[in-house]
Amino acid sequence: LKRTLLKHLFTLAMVSLSKLSDVGYLRNLNYNDIIARKKLVKMKISCNGKKHSNYLNCSAIRAEKEKQWSSKKYLENNLQTHVEQNKQFLKQNLEVRRNKLLRLLETEAENEKSLLEAYSEHSKCKSTMLIRSTALKQARDSEKAKMAENLLTEHFRKNNPDLREMFRAADQNGTIDRWKCQLNELKEQKQSEKLDQIVHGEMESDAKLYEEKQAEEMELQRLQAREKHLEYLRKQLDELHSRENKAKQLIEKEKCLINQLVQLDQLENQRRLIEEKCQRELYGRELLHQHHTALRKRSTL
The pLDDT assigned to 25 comes to 44
Dist. CA 107–CA 214, nearest whole Å: 22
Confidence band (pLDDT; 50, 70, 90) for 222?
A: confident
DSSP single-letter state for residue 70: T
Q: What is the pLDDT of residues 58-86, one digit of tens each?
A: 777 877 877 777 777 777 777 777 667 77
Confidence band (pLDDT; 50, 70, 90) for 125?
A: low
> Could you tell me how far CA 100 lies from the centroid of its own chain?
12
Q: Is the pTM of this model over 0.85?
A: no
Percent of the chain with pLDDT over 70: 59
> Could you tell me how far CA 246 lies from the centroid of its own chain?
12
Cβ count near 150 (within 10 Å): 13
The pLDDT assigned to 115 comes to 65
Specify whether the CB–CB gap between 215 and 43 falls below 8 A.
no
Q: What is the pLDDT of residues 181-205, one digit of tens each?
A: 666 777 777 766 776 776 677 667 7
DSSP single-letter state for residue 71: S
Quote the mean pLDDT of the chain. 71
Q: Can you tell me the mean pLDDT for 259-277?
A: 82
Comparing CA positions, the residue from 112, 97, 130 lying closest to residue 204 is 130
Q: What is the pLDDT of residues 3-46, one digit of tens each?
A: 565 566 666 656 555 554 444 444 554 556 666 777 777 777 77
Dist. CA 71–CA 155, nearest whole Å: 123
DSSP single-letter state for residue 301: -
